[in-house]
């Protein structure tokens, strides 16, 4: 199956290194440009992902880790659905600084390509939206998400269609299933950024370990 070339859809998709990505986001976060672009592009990832997540989670008191939280778009959606306890992490301090006060209980600057400084089985669930994309976080981060999530917790994420096979996300997801680390609840193609003709895979998995 031929994959669409989405590298020319959004400028950041052309970046390759962590330093390039961080510099780009730091500049993108100035004068609220990032949030304005997301509205203009009709970026539906946060809303669609939280909507799916909510179908499987009745308890609004659970502690959620928003990995790659950016300007807090996922946090805003979680709040709309009545969730109260969520922490966020992102590579860009500039984006973290734009998050509305008191939206998250805790925010940390972190490179998700490295081990996350959080103890095992700490969170009830993990959300990761818009972070698995060109030049960003690689598949091994899924191992860390499983590690920090409690048994029977949920891991919900999007993966840009252009890197799904190229970066090896398909193999990593399959390996975690074969090893019995998690069980697939949802996996389908999402519109993601419809105005840019960019799609993403949306996955929701229940941690077994």
Sketch the domain layout of the chain as residue ranges: 11-97+104-207
Residue 198's pLDDT is 73
Cβ neighbourhood burial of 101 (10 Å; 0-12, 13-18, 19+): exposed
Residue 37's pLDDT is 61
Helix, strand or coil, per DSSP, at residue 89:
strand
Residue 11's pLDDT is 53
Q: Which CATH superfamily is domain 11-97+104-207 in?
A: Vaccinia Virus protein VP39 (3.40.50.150)
What is the share, in percent, of the chain residues with pLDDT greater than 70?
77
Tens-digit pLDDT profile for residues 64-96: 999 999 999 999 999 999 999 999 999 989 889
Tens-digit pLDDT profile for residues 106-154: 999 999 999 999 999 999 999 999 899 877 899 999 999 999 999 999 9
> 3-17, 72-86, 156-170: which has the minimum mean pLDDT?
3-17
Q: Are 65 and 118 in contact (CB under 8 A)?
A: yes
The string of DSSP codes covering 129-185 is EEEESTTS--TTHHHHHHHHEEEEEEEEEEEETTTTTTTTHHHHHHHHHHTTSEEEE
């Amino acid at each position: 199956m031929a994959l669409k070339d989405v590298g020319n859809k959004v400028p950041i998709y052309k970046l390759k290194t962590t330093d390039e990505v961080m510099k780009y986001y730091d500049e993108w976060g100035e004068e609220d440009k990032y949030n304005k672009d997301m509205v203009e592009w009709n970026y539906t990832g946060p809303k669609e992902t939280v909507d799916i997540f909510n179908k499987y989670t009745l308890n609004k008191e659970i502690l959620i880790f928003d990995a790659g939280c950016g300007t807090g778009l996922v946090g805003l959606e979680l709040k709309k659905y009545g969730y109260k306890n969520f922490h966020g992490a992102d590579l860009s301090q500039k984006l973290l600084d734009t998050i509305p006060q008191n939206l998250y209980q805790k925010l940390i600057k972190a490179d998700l390509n490295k081990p996350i400084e959080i103890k095992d089985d700490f969170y009830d669930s993990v959300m990761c939206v818009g972070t698995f994309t060109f030049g960003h976080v690689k598949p091994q981060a899924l191992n860390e998400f499983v590690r920090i999530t409690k048994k029977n917790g949920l891991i919900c994420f999007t993966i840009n269609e252009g890197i799904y096979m190229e970066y090896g996300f398909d193999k990593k997801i399959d390996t975690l299933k074969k090893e019995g680390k998690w069980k697939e609840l949802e996996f389908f193609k999402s519109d993601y950024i419809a105005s840019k003709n960019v799609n993403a895979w949306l996955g929701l998995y229940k941690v077994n370990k």
